[in-house]
Amino acid sequence: MDVFSEARLGPVLLRNRVIKAATFEGRTRGAVAGPELVEFHRRHAAGGVAMTTVAYCAVAPEGRTERRQIWMRPEAVPGLRVLTDAVHAEGAAACAQIGHAGPVANGRSNRLPSLGPSAALNPQSLQRTRAAGRADIERITAAHADAARLAVEAGFDAVEIHLGHNYFASSFLSPRLNRRTDAYGGTLANRAKVALGAARAVRDAVGDRIAVLAKLNMDDGVPGGFWLDESLQVARWLERDGTVDALELTAGSSLLNPMYLFRGDAPIQEFAANFRPPIRLGLRLAGGRFIRAYPYQEAYLLDSARQFRAALTMPLVLLGGISQRATMDLAMSEGFAFVAMARALLREPDLINRMRRDPATRSLCVHCNKCMPTIYTGTRCVLADDQRSQGSTVPE
């Protein structure tokens, strides 16, 4: 299977098998899409990806990781329609990542309480997360359906339901974070109700008008968290329900261990510079306990993802450490339907076009992860910025 061959994702025909993964863009002033966000995704579409993912579109105002993020409401549709039109004009498809940040949400920034399966302290906002009641769960589930309908109205070709990184649905899956004793806690079947319910609500809302993906944690990367054996079972249930057209396999906890997903250098000082005291000082002194460094290697999630490929028949998206053509070819040879890339494309938005022309093209990304702290000022590759300021040529 050729990574540059056309591929069907549910009802959508994509021009190739490379997806621009969701990375919060830091370009959503007023919690809506403006020219900066439109241009960000237009550049990636022009650069050759089959589909670019807008990250992320919260389904409720308290579901944002901070207040500038888009939350799906009628007022957000016009700007998003401009974005999808721009992406389509470049020959690519557009996907909206929808979800609720749950305990990862910054209640102080949102000026709304963050919600999770159980009460806990959010280490980022230093505020308490409130345990969601049944009414909260039902409202958030319905909000996923409303967000998906708005995505259709805005011209998106797909939605990606966020079931990872200890966001709302993922936090319910986690035995470490979910200490409930009601119908949403205890057994895996109970802990999976939120995730499976959100997927069902979205599918019922959109039918086959657009594609539906889910981003699912294979493991949280924290002791006592959601682990691969349970994730495999949840994936089987999603396949059984027929609610999603593909699974994008991810890992890590934005709440407890964010670098477990990214691998490579841990830019602690750069993160600290974006916070006010005392959080800034705390990060500089003890940030290594939260922002841990993991060695980078190509396709670092592949070993875990292979177990999902062996257990499932549905299309899978391989994520994590994909920056070379050889890695894409390996993924195709092992039966993955798509690959998702992020950091390499931040460095070189036109990387896919150049790889198509010359398979020997190598990514310039060095996995320093200094792009991650730029989410507060507009997500970008700082090394590319340095090259531009020095007058060097950087591919566009």
Active site residues: 167
**DSSP string for residues in 128-140:** EEEEPPHHHHHHH
Q: Report the Cα 144 to chain-centroid distance in Å.
A: 16
**DSSP string for residues in 292-306:** --B---TTTTHHHHH
Per the structure block, which two tokens stand in for 188? 């895996």
**DSSP string for residues in 8-62:** EETTEEESSSEEE-----S--GGGS--HHHHHHHHHHHHTT-SEEEEEEEESSGG
Q: Is 241 helix (H, G, I), strand (E, B) or coil?
A: helix
pLDDT, one tens digit per residue, over 27-59 is: 998 899 999 999 999 999 999 999 999 998 999
Q: Give yes or no for a cis peptide into 376 (omega within 30° of 0).
A: no
Range of the domain at 200: 7-389
**DSSP string for residues in 102-132:** GGGS-HHHHTS--EESS-EEETTTTEEEEEP
Could you tell me if 320 and 250 are in contact, meaning their C-beta atoms sit under 8 angstroms apart? yes
- CATH number for 326: 3.20.20.70
Nearest to 127 by CA among 102, 101, 106, 96: 106
* φ and ψ of 382, to 5 deg: -70, -25
Per the structure block, which two tokens stand in for 10? 């549910």
pTM equals 0.94
Asked if residue 394 belongs to a domain, the reply is no
- The contacts of residue 3 (CB under 8 Å, 6+ apart) are 16, 17, 18, 325, 328, 329, 331, 332, 339
* φ and ψ of 316, to 5 deg: -125, 145
Domain count, the chain: 1
Asked if residue 324 belongs to a domain, the reply is yes
* φ and ψ of 115, to 5 deg: -125, 145
Q: Is 192 helix (H, G, I), strand (E, B) or coil?
A: coil
Asked if residue 395 belongs to a domain, the reply is no
CB count, 10 Å around CB of 69? 23
Rg for the chain (alpha carbons), in Å? 19
Asked if residue 47 belongs to a domain, the reply is yes
Q: What is the pLDDT along the chain (396 residues), one digit of tens a residue?
A: 899 999 999 999 999 999 999 999 999 988 999 999 999 999 999 999 999 999 989 999 999 998 999 999 999 999 999 999 999 999 999 999 999 999 999 888 889 999 999 999 877 677 889 999 999 999 999 999 999 999 999 999 999 999 999 999 999 999 999 999 999 999 999 999 999 999 999 999 999 999 999 999 999 999 999 999 999 999 999 999 999 999 999 999 999 998 999 999 988 888 778 777 766 777 776 677 778 889 999 999 999 999 999 999 999 999 999 999 999 999 999 999 999 999 999 999 999 999 999 999 999 999 999 999 898 889 999 998 755 555 544 443
Asked if residue 1 belongs to a domain, the reply is no
Asked if residue 158 belongs to a domain, the reply is yes
Nearest to 14 by CA among 350, 245, 358: 245
Q: In DSSP terms, which residues pair with 128 in a beta bridge?
A: 121
Maximum pairwise Cα distance, the chain:
61
DSSP H or E segment with residue 229: helix 228-241
Asked if residue 275 belongs to a domain, the reply is yes
* Mean confidence (pLDDT) of the chain: 93
Angstrom distance (rounded) from CA 277 to CA 271: 13
**DSSP string for residues in 247-282:** EEEE--BTTTBTHHHH-B---HHHHHTTS-TTHHHH
Angstrom distance (rounded) from CA 191 to CA 176: 11
Buried b / exposed e across 79-114, counting CB within 10 Å, b at 16+? bbebbbebbeebebbbbbbbbbbbbbbbbebbebeb
Angstrom distance (rounded) from CA 210 to CA 143: 17
**DSSP string for residues in 163-180:** E-BTSHHHHHH-TTT---
For β-strands 127-131 and 120-122, DSSP reports them as: antiparallel
Asked if residue 167 belongs to a domain, the reply is yes
Angstrom distance (rounded) from CA 380 to CA 109: 23
**Exposed, middle or buried, 357 (CB in 10 Å: 0-12/13-18/19+)?**
exposed
